Amino acid sequence: MSGRKKTLLKVIILGDSGVGKTSLMQQFVNNKFSHQYKATIGADFLTKEITIDNNKQVSLQIWDTAGQERFQSLGVAFYRGADCCVLCYDVTNEKSLNNLTSWKDEFLVQSNVTNPQDFPFIIIGNKIDVDDSKKIPSLQKKLQNITNNQLGGLNYPVFETSAKEGINVEAAFEVIAKMALQQEELNDANGHDVSDDYNDAINIHLESEYSGCAC
Amino acid sequence: MSTNDNESDNSVRGKVSSSLSSAQIKGPVSLTPTSILPSSSGPTLALNLENVSKGVTRAIDYTSDQLLSSGPRLSVVSSGSTSDYLLQRQISQEEYEGLTEDFEGDEDDETEDHDTEELHNIISDIIRYERNNTINVNSLMSEISYLDLDMFPNPDGLVDEMAYYRQHIEPSKSDSQQEFHYKNKHFFIFSLAGKPIYSFNGSDEIIMGYMGILTTIISTFEENINEEIKSIMVGDRLKIVALNKNPIVLVSISSISYELMALNKSDLGLELDDEIQTNDDKEENHTIRSKEDLILINQLSTIYNYLLSILSKPVIERNFTNRMNYDLRRILTSLDFQNIDALCMRLSYGLPITKEIDNNLLDTSSFGFFISELLDSSIQSINITNTTRTRLNNILLSCKKLKIKQPEEVKSDAISSYFSSVTSSAVEEKYLAEDLLFSLLSTSNKILGYMKPKNHSLSNDDLKIVLNLISSSSNSLQFTEDLWVPLCLPNFNPNGFLYVFVKRINLSDYFKSGIQVQPLDIVLISSNKNSFYQMQEVSIHIIYMIIKNVDVLNTLTQELISSSKLSIYKDIKVPTIKHFIYKLKKSNQFIMNDIIHVNNDRSMNSILQLIYFYSVLHNTKSVKIRSKLRSTYNKSNISSTTIPSATLSAIPNMKLTYTRWNFPHTSVTGFMLSDNDYEFYCLCNVPVSSKDLITHTLKIIKWCEKNKKRLFFGSGVVF
Amino acid sequence: MAEVSPTTNRFAQFKLVLLGESAVGKSSIVHRFVKNTFDDLRESTIGAAFLTQTITFPETNTTIKFEIWDTAGQERYKSLAPMYYRNANAALCVYDITSRSSFNKAQDWIKELKRQAPEGIVIALVGNKSDLAEDRQVEADEVEEYIQQQTSEEDGNSRIITSECSAKSGEGVLEIFNSIGRALPVEEVINASSRGRSAGGARQQGGIDLARARRQQAAAANSSCC
């Protein structure tokens, strides 16, 4: 499909309320951080175009879901047809770290993706700008427990970011785009576009007596 | 509930806020917008799904002051009861009267003359009160600007027709939010995952958020209320209509007045009984609502049919199987997007997409397409003599009898063929056109001749797909290429392709003198993808049959030259009627006269006016004419209009609609008359007496009936 | 219809197909060749278009008529390609010199042609848009390298014609068709048709005998019951 100019990727961001999903998105798209916390009630949609591997143009369609528990069930529309999923936690909030697994499960249940084991996820730990004293005690160890767990673990790339300071945000999204693009190319290799199927013969029942009287 | 998130700058494309939780799903929900979708303040839509009552999910009324801020300019007074929301508005320069009255009575046989007289009585009573108006007899509709009509919102009060066109009508794919929000009409196509496929306006940047919002709304309703969302009414001037063709969704957003009218069509079995009409209770409102969406739903279906025609249903479905993230744009081409743009423009405005929109002699095939859609996919026919039509049809038919010898050494798909006599009976002989299913001869998108098999036919929607293919390839056809195009005709069979051969011929080439004649298109539809060479030879045969006889060639050329002008104005005198449409119901074909008769031009202004007048005329509830008056209405808004206690003979299902628009210096009268056989629409731009209106109407109808065979191609010839 | 007459003008007819990625300018090349026109805003081709054009070689008093298939480059129509090249005598695999991917695509087409097309098909690898040389992505030596590699694989029998052109300026377009014309087995076809048979692969000329068609038509009319 070399004629295609841009790849469009749907990225969804999940994680507990208050971990800074919207801030991450704002930082990435607009390079700005809003100090005032506002609960997202529903979802935001943002678009950003980036170029990866020097020449691949990718258009990211980012769906930022509501974090609050009570809005959890946003319906399959959010999850359906996602190309990549970002799981976020807050480095100062242990509960948000522990909830990553259930966010992942929620996604897999709702999105009904065909190959869950191959689906591209990444993990973002936000708010690394805060004092070390406020961070989760022995964070790295706990994080490893979650990601390295052999059975059903979240063995995905982890990024520690600060939406406030703009640290690592861009890098994280670039990896997101790369992973999603790889997945997309893998899909292409497996199932070609059904675009050229002109062999669906139509059965046309005609009486074969053309030579007869046509009146 | 959330409010406008004004911190979000331009890159925040949209936001849906919903307080829906699984526990609340079953409860009733009400929707309160904090602002509405194409508002100028940014695309924030908030849903509060706490109180939806199931009955209103089909169409939800938003109210928004924002939309009305420009202020209505038109006073509309009508006794019509079904297009009320168009009519509830007040104030200003012009007046519009739509009169719809009911009559009923005993059924007895009367002479036609008597009918004429009765019709005359009815009309004259309806319009009697208007005679006091002083109107310049020599006025032209060209003195009216389409901006004077209650067609489009005009928030900036633009008075320049071209400026308005550029700002509000012309599709724009720009990055500007403001440009986007100015547009009267939006079309979106996206996948159920919310990935954009097409948008009439706006860049990807702009539309991506809307696609997300719309996807969310649509699937929220689907999942949680188990009801497919069909339309959302925002205030009284904006409607969002969705057509869910899983895995893709088509959405139209319109603020065009004539598209927000309800359709009143008995032909679709949708007409309400008079009883229901009078008992205007809420239950019935529910059914009326779905009718209100029909204009926009039909437009979306037409666009969906285009997608099917190039891709076919299985191709669309298979791409999305196990891949809901599929991006359908990958298999669409730039030409497809251009074609959809053109389609959207035709469907909404009857205008072509052209850089020379200020040309006073625009191509009117887009106008023809609009009228065709308005009249239930009726196909526009062309006026040629019956002799010529029969001759052309017989030529098409003769192709099926051509035989070829099949040289042994050549493979079957590369037949180098020779005609042979039908009487010879060599074993290796085959019919040349064995795979030929349908043949069309057309000129400027109108059908002259048509051949079809005994047990198959093409629906009007399919015929229109074929005609659109020709008009969108006219660039190529100018180069006298032969085209060979796979095409899915969704009504014929949505699951496979037929193969269309198109050749354009210029009859002028066969004359030494510089006669200019519109080109003729030969369209051959085959079931076999390898039958190009056979079709090419069939086309050569057709050309040969047309040009071999000088008489045939001359007659056809002359008739093509004069075909655009209906000879009616030579045959009969109907000076009051500037433009008319006559639709033959049986074959669902129509003819109309050249728009040039109206204002001596084919300008954007003239086209838009006609689009408006005919839409209102068509969509206004018509009067059923029965021979005894059931009740005497006294419509409070129309002074001194009394309903004639006329009796009328049993004209089967005769109906009429009379509308009149008064302007400072002129007026326009629209009149519709129909019975079981025909629908007749006309526009007059001089003060017209009831007598003239009826007499001239009936004259034209009679003329059309008399000339039926030369006006309509009917069902074609059958092999 | 042109008849073969050895004393006046010698005539042969060949089928030629254009293949290549969407938007490389296949139709533009054809229209430059057939009509000597160029339209910058040309829409993409749907399905395929069929055109004809003749060229004359005065030195041999020979006229060649090309029956040209201009195919749509979109993937959507890919499965239809075999029916256009199946009986072709020549193929133009077109790429855009400013697009590497289109060059790869052209190579794919050559591969497919070698596998599926009739033996002896004349193949030309044509780089269009030579007027945009400043944005060039495909260099001449890569093309040469590719050709060397192809030729060695094929015992040197089927040399691929390579050329660059600009449909926009017209530069090099006619030359391509001329070199194809010279590479085609013109003499064989002419000799074969003068013996009353068609040569392998070439479609017979004079596909329709109008006089005969008229006779046939008359017969059909007589046999009809109406």
Supply the pLDDT for residue A191: 59
Residue B370 has pLDDT above 50, yes or no: yes
Other C-beta atoms closer than 10 Å to the C-beta of C73 total: 25
Whether B213 maps to a domain, the answer reads yes
Verify whether the Cβ–Cβ distance B192 to A77 is below 8 Å: yes
Confidence of residue B140 (pLDDT cuts 50, 70, 90): low
Residues B613 and B662 in one domain: yes
Segment B171-181 mean pLDDT: 92
Percent pLDDT > 70 in chain B is 67
Supply the pLDDT for residue B371: 96
Q: Which two tokens stand for residue B65?
A: 């002051």
Check if the beta carbon of residue B253 is closer than 8 Å to that of residue B238.
yes
Please tell me the distance in Å from C161's CA to the nearest CA on chain A.
Answer: 25
Supply the pLDDT for residue A133: 82
Calculate the average pLDDT of chain C.
81
Residues B533 and B419 in one domain: yes
Closest CA to B18 of B216, B208, B201: B216
Segment B675-704 mean pLDDT: 88
Whether B13 maps to a domain, the answer reads no
Residues B300 and B398 in one domain: no
Supply the pLDDT for residue B490: 95
Nearest CB partner across the interface for C226, out of A3, A196, A215:
A215
Confidence of residue A212 (pLDDT cuts 50, 70, 90): very low
Residues B441 and B574 in one domain: no
What is the span of the domain harbouring residue B688? 95-143+566-711
Verify whether the Cβ–Cβ distance C76 to B331 is below 8 Å: yes
Whether B155 maps to a domain, the answer reads no
Angle between helices B604-619 and B334-349 (to 10 degrees): 60
Segment C122-145 mean pLDDT: 93
Query: Cα–chain-centroid distance for residue B558?
Result: 30
Please tell me the distance in Å from B250's CA to the nearest CA on chain A.
Answer: 16
Q: How far is CA B713 from CA B388, B447, B559, in A?
A: 11, 7, 15
Work out whether strand A6-15 and strand A56-65 pair parallel, antiparallel, or are unpaired.
parallel
Closest CA to B542 of C217, A111, C225, A33: C217
Calculate the average pLDDT of chain B.
73
Please tell me the distance in Å from B530's CA to the nearest CA on chain C.
Answer: 7
- Tell me which H or E stretch contains B605: helix B604-619
| Cα C127 from Cα C138, distance rounded (Å) | 9
CA closest to C222 among chain A residues = A213
Segment B318-344 mean pLDDT: 90
Strands (DSSP E) contained in C101-156 are 122-128
pLDDT digits (tens, 9 = 90+) for C13-56: 999 999 999 889 999 999 999 989 898 777 788 889 999 999 99
Supply the pLDDT for residue B21: 32
Q: Using the 3D structure, point to which of B500, B530, B563 is the last residue of a domain.
A: B563
Please report the domains of chain A, with CATH numbers, ordered by start residue. Answer: 6-190 (3.40.50.300)
Residues B125 and B266 in one domain: no
Contacts of C79 in chain A (CB under 8 A): 196-199
Length in residues, chain C: 226
C 69-108 residues inside an 8 A Cβ radius of A: 73-80, 101-102, 104-105
pLDDT digits (tens, 9 = 90+) for B80-129: 333 332 322 222 223 333 333 333 333 333 445 666 676 776 666 665 54
Segment C131-144 mean pLDDT: 92
| Cα C46 from Cα C37, distance rounded (Å) | 20
What is the domain count for chain B? 3
Closest CA to A176 of A159, A153, A152: A159
Residues B439 and B548 in one domain: yes
Please tell me the distance in Å from B176's CA to the nearest CA on chain A.
Answer: 15
pLDDT digits (tens, 9 = 90+) for B26-63: 323 233 333 333 333 333 232 333 333 332 222 222 22
Contacts of A198 in chain C (CB under 8 A): 77, 79-80
Which range, of B336-340, B348-352, B427-431, C159-163, averages the lowest pLDDT?
Answer: B427-431
Contacts of B218 in chain A (CB under 8 A): 77
Check if the beta carbon of residue A56 is closer than 8 Å to that of residue A198.
no
CA closest to A197 among chain C residues = C79
Supply the pLDDT for residue C110: 94
Confidence of residue A141 (pLDDT cuts 50, 70, 90): confident
Supply the pLDDT for residue B413: 41
Strands (DSSP E) contained in B406-511 are 418-420, 429-431, 436-443, 446-452, 482-487, 498-505
Please tell me the distance in Å from B483's CA to the nearest CA on chain C.
Answer: 4
| Cα B632 from Cα B634, distance rounded (Å) | 6
C 5-24 residues inside an 8 A Cβ radius of B: 22-23
Verify whether the Cβ–Cβ distance C101 to A198 is below 8 Å: no
Segment C200-223 mean pLDDT: 39
Percent pLDDT > 90 in chain B is 36
Supply the pLDDT for residue A214: 34
Phi-psi region of B534 (alpha: psi -120 to 50; beta: other; left: phi over 0): alpha
Residue B193 belongs to a domain with what CATH number? 3.30.450.70
Residue B640 has pLDDT above 80, yes or no: no
Segment A11-38 mean pLDDT: 78
Half-sphere exposure in the Cβ direction for C7 (13 Å, CA): 0
Verify whether the Cβ–Cβ distance A75 to B223 is below 8 Å: yes
Supply the pLDDT for residue B681: 95
B252: which strand partners?
B187, B241
Residue B582 has pLDDT above 90, yes or no: yes
Residues B492 and B617 in one domain: no
Query: Cα–chain-centroid distance for residue B17?
Result: 36
Please tell me the distance in Å from C153's CA to the nearest CA on chain B.
Answer: 30
Verify whether the Cβ–Cβ distance B403 to C31 is below 8 Å: no
Verify whether the Cβ–Cβ distance B204 to A83 is below 8 Å: no
Which range, of B83-92, B194-203, B326-335, B606-615, averages the lowest pLDDT?
Answer: B83-92
Residues B204 and B226 in one domain: yes
Confidence of residue C190 (pLDDT cuts 50, 70, 90): confident
The SS3 call for residue A64 is strand
Segment B228-250 mean pLDDT: 88
Supply the pLDDT for residue A37: 55
Break chain C into its structural domains and give their ranges. Answer: 10-223
Supply the pLDDT for residue B165: 96
pLDDT digits (tens, 9 = 90+) for A55-102: 788 888 888 875 555 555 566 778 889 999 999 999 998 899 888 888
Contacts of B431 in chain A (CB under 8 A): 210-211
Which range, of B222-236, B342-356, B379-393, C48-62, averages the lowest pLDDT?
Answer: B222-236
Closest CA to B679 of B617, B626, B629, B595: B617
Supply the pLDDT for residue B372: 95
Q: Which CATH number fits domain C10-223: 3.40.50.300, 3.30.465.10, 2.40.50.140, 3.40.50.720?
A: 3.40.50.300
Residue B658 has pLDDT above 60, yes or no: yes
Confidence of residue B262 (pLDDT cuts 50, 70, 90): low
Q: Where are the alpha helices (DSSP H) in B157-293?
A: 161-164, 177-182, 204-220, 274-278, 282-292
Residue B589 has pLDDT above 80, yes or no: yes
What would the DSSP string read from start to end of A79-110? HTT-SEEEEEEETT-HHHHHTHHHHHHHHHHH
Residues B629 and B533 in one domain: no
Closest CA to B114 of B649, B681, B664, B690: B649
Segment B223-230 mean pLDDT: 72
Residues B538 and B594 in one domain: no
Residues B217 and B101 in one domain: no
What would the DSSP string read from start to end of B486-501? EE--TTT-TTS-EEEE
Q: Using the 3D structure, point to which of B500, B533, B563 is the last residue of a domain.
A: B563
Contacts of C77 in chain A (CB under 8 A): 196, 198
Confidence of residue A150 (pLDDT cuts 50, 70, 90): low
CA closest to A79 among chain B residues = B193
Residues B615 and B559 in one domain: no
Confidence of residue B552 (pLDDT cuts 50, 70, 90): confident
Nearest CB partner across the interface for B327, out of A8, A44, A201:
A8
pLDDT digits (tens, 9 = 90+) for C159-183: 799 999 999 999 999 999 999 999 9
Supply the pLDDT for residue B474: 78
Q: Where are the alpha helices (DSSP H) in chain A?
A: 21-30, 76-79, 94-98, 100-111, 139-148, 169-190
Length in residues, chain B: 719
Which range, of B93-97, B486-490, B507-511, C4-8, averages the lowest pLDDT?
Answer: B93-97
B 153-192 residues inside an 8 A Cβ radius of A: 191-192
CA closest to B492 among chain A residues = A202
